């Protein structure tokens, strides 16, 4: 099969998500637009020895509902989430991947950490019983690329296959890189997003050591509060979010439902600090500007920004500087919200889950809110915060930001595809 010409347009034709707000797109969207907090006491391990005892866990997830149990047993939790979300996205797209089509279908799935639970369990085994008792599955369970690899194996994808590991920007980088693979003619279909499952004793304990997590243990539903003056850190989440990206001409030819068009992608580096963003916001602002310019849209055309805002004191104020710099005078009237206030910070899966919600905001004409925004930090003023209640709005252009430890910045821009 010959490759199509370069500079293909990229359609979003399928969505799949496993999130703390629910299993599937409908459940997650319903929770996000109702302003539901998924935060609660940790049940995945005994949290009594960690300073933070709350998180946004995925509830009622049964791997056997999405794959054979014998296969699920050879997957870490983050990979199970990824495979489930990919199957949902494929079904949603109504796409058949048979024969030669599989050679031109691939996956780029981000994960900031990978199989942390296996790392924790096997480290305990080595400490207690020695290295000769480690599981032969330890490495293939643990390594971060196995989310993408398991999706490829389960769906028979033989096209471009990769994993992005850029901390909290992983999902956005994966979506941008997957779209680029289609544009340059390497693939016709790509599954893109992120998967993560790090609610473990070592995961929570390590982020506690950094003083990054909220310790509002007595009021978990109010703990994740981006942009609020009383924020004290993020609430850990988990899950997976996948977009099915497809060559626009192929999607049109098969009369697919096209959610939107992925039109812009920008990526930069802070070159600043291990964990803190550059307070000037210069590098992520360049990523936003780059994405908008590549999309061919102006700041005034942006109808919604799904902010990265995690509810950390430094990160949220830095992002407001980014928005003011990249959007200029238009920032004051641009609707902005952080859905992390509801599903928590899902690390490498954040960009994927938020990408799904951003697409749905465009499709449904409804912007999910930032909940718990009761006392706006004066340093976070300057944009139109969608606070506490979802807002009906026509969104023709939407932006999703992803910024990760180490200074990784990734921004994607989506546009209605009514002219497809």
- What positions carry a catalytic annotation? 168, 308, 345
Pairwise CA distance, residues 143 & 179, whole Å:
24
Q: Is 131 helix (H, G, I), strand (E, B) or coil?
A: helix
Outline where 45-183 has alpha helix (H). Answer: 69-72, 77-93, 116-129, 138-142, 146-155, 170-183
Among 53, 51, 86, which Cα is nearest to 67's? 86
Per-residue tokens: 213 = 């997590």
Q: Is 410 helix (H, G, I), strand (E, B) or coil?
A: strand
If 0-12 CB within 10 Å is exposed, 13-18 middle and 19+ buried, where does residue 41 land?
exposed
Neighbours of 381 (CB within 10 A): 12
CA of 245: how far to CAs of 59, 259, 356, in Å?
28, 10, 12
What value, to the nearest 5°, has the Cα angle with vertex 299 and ends 383 and 333? 30
φ, ψ of residue 96 in degrees (nearest 5): -105, 125
φ, ψ of residue 15 in degrees (nearest 5): -130, 140
Q: What is the DSSP letter of 260?
A: E
H or E element: which one contains 391?
strand 391-392
Pairwise CA distance, residues 60 & 310, whole Å:
25
Give the DSSP per-residue string, 271-335: -S-SSSPPTT-HHHHHHHHHHHHHHT--GGG--EEE----S-HHHHHHHHHHHHHHHGGGGGG-E
């Amino acid at each position: 099969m010959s490759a199509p010409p370069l500079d293909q347009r990229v359609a979003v034709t399928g969505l799949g998500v496993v999130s703390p707000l629910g299993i599937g797109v409908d459940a997650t969207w319903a929770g996000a637009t109702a302003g539901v907090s998924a935060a609660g006491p940790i049940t995945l391990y005994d949290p009594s020895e960690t300073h933070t005892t709350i998180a946004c866990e995925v509830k009622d997830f049964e791997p056997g509902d999405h794959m054979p149990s014998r296969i699920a047993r050879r997957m870490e939790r983050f990979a199970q989430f990824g495979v489930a979300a990919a199957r949902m996205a494929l079904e949603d797209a109504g796409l058949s991947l048979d024969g030669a089509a599989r050679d031109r279908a691939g996956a780029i799935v981000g994960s900031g950490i990978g199989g942390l639970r296996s790392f924790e369990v096997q480290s305990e085994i080595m400490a207690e019983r020695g290295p000769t008792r480690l599981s032969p599955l330890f490495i293939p369970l643990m390594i971060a690329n196995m989310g993408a690899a398991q999706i490829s194996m389960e769906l028979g994808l033989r096209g471009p296959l990769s994993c992005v590991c850029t901390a909290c920007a992983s999902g956005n980088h994966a979506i941008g890189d997957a779209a680029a693979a289609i544009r340059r003619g390497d693939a016709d279909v790509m599954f893109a997003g992120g998967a993560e499952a790090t609610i473990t004793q070592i995961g929570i304990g390590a982020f506690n050591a950094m003083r990054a997590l909220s310790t509002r243990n007595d009021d978990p539903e109010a703990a994740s509060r981006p942009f609020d003056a009383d924020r004290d850190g993020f609430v850990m989440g988990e899950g997976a979010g996948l977009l099915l990206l497809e060559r626009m001409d192929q999607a049109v030819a098969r009369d697919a439902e096209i959610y939107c068009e992925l039109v812009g992608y920008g990526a930069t580096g802070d070159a600043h600090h291990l964990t803190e963003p550059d307070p000037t916001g210069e590098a992520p602002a360049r990523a936003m500007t780059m994405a908008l310019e590549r999309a061919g849209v102006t700041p005034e055309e942006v109808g919604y920004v799904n902010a990265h805002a995690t509810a950390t004191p430094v990160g949220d104020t830095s992002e407001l500087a980014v928005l003011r710099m990249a959007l200029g005078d238009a920032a004051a009237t641009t609707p902005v919200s952080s859905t992390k206030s509801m599903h928590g910070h899902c690390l490498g899966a954040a960009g994927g889950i938020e990408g799904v919600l951003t697409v749905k905001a465009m499709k449904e004409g409804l912007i999910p809110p930032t909940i718990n925004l009761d006392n706006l930090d004066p340093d976070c003023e300057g944009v139109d915060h969608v606070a506490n209640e979802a807002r009906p709005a026509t969104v023709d252009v939407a932006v999703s930001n992803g910024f990760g430890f180490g200074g990784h910045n990734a921004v994607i821009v989506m546009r209605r595809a009514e002219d497809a």
